Amino acid sequence: MPLTLEEYMQRLHLEFDLNLNNFCIYQGKLEDILFTQDESRGGLLQIFEELSGSLEFRPKSDDLKQKISDCDEQLKRETEALQTLRLEKVKQKGLQEFAESLKECLTE
């Protein structure tokens, strides 16, 4: 989610009061994020997502990634089917040529 530097700094100060008195509290939050991170996403990414407000778009992003993966799988299956049909067409053409040459032999 695009933000200006000013908006980012404002959110940063709203989300994380960065004075020394609160440092230990936020250090604990950062450690929680870093050590309990989802394997598919890094802890730092999660921090940036929270600060920028883009965390709310994660479910939609995950859904779109799944749809892309499903489309890729379908494309792979259809490509394999197309390749099989092409091979069958080549075999069919070979059999047809063989049948024609056999027919010519029988006619002679």
Confidence (pLDDT) at 87: 93
Residue-wise pLDDT tens digits, 7-36: 877 777 666 655 555 555 566 666 666 666
Q: Rounded to an integer, what distance in angstroms lies between the CA atom of residue 12 and that of residue 5? A: 10
CB atoms < 10 A from the CB of 101, how many?
Answer: 10
Domain ranges of the chain: 5-82
Tell which wins on pLDDT, 58 or 47.
Answer: 58
Identify the three-state secondary structure at position 6.
helix
- CB-CB contact of 12 with 51 (8 Å): yes
Q: What is the distance, to the nearest Å, from the Cα of residue 87 to the centroid of all Cα atoms in its chain?
A: 32
Residue-wise pLDDT tens digits, 69-106: 999 999 999 999 999 999 999 999 999 999 999 898 88
Tell which wins on pLDDT, 47 or 105.
Answer: 105
Confidence (pLDDT) at 30: 65
Q: Rounded to an integer, what distance in angstroms lies between the CA atom of residue 79 and that of residue 91? A: 18
